[in-house]
Amino acid sequence: MVFARSNRSTVRFAAAVLAIALALAGVAAVALLRGSAQVAVAASAAAIVAGAVVARTALRLRRWPSSRLGFFRDRLVLVQGRVELQAARERLETVPLADQGDWAAARWPEMTLTDRLTVRMRPARRFSFRPASFGVEPAACRDLMLRLRDEPALRDRLPVLGSVSDLTSMPLHTGELVRPEI
């Protein structure tokens, strides 16, 4: 299963603002033809602002992160831009959502939960990421990772990672915040 953050809401916003910009440009043209210069100036100024919003949104879509979070039978694969990280299942120890400053010293009632997932691996290696940047709910991502670590029968239902190109060829699960389940 490969998860990626959806840009659907941003595309809808850009389409709506583009429609508004075109409607305002049409109002400005009609007002100019009918001789109402004040209305034409106001409508064209609003159309220019709407066009700037469309351009800014298009730039944001162009820079949309190509992040992928892949759950495979034998490993977890995390790709953010040019950085690729692979974590073998047998090396996973803990996957807390707790603030890492609190992790070693504090007890449970004193811990602060965050939206950042920290994956601790053997021997003494760890990395952290925000599951929400991949469109995955943090607590559900943690629960899935722990279930996949502890239940081999569940892992057998996942595909094997053949190459990193599998991350781009496999169907994506996208959304604003989804709860990953197998």
Q: What is the DSSP string of 107-156?
A: -GGG--B-S-EEEEETTTEEEEE-GGGGTB-HHHHHHHHHHHHH-HHHHT
CB count within 10 Å of CB 90 equals 10
R_g (Cα) of the chain, nearest Å: 23
pLDDT tens-digit map of 87-105: 777 777 776 666 555 455 5
CB count within 10 Å of CB 15 equals 12
Asked whether the predicted pLDDT for residue 163 surpasses 80, the reply is no
Asked whether the predicted pLDDT for residue 75 surpasses 70, the reply is yes
pLDDT tens-digit map of 76-88: 777 777 777 777 7
3-class SS of residue 85: strand
59 confidence band (pLDDT: 50, 70, 90)? confident
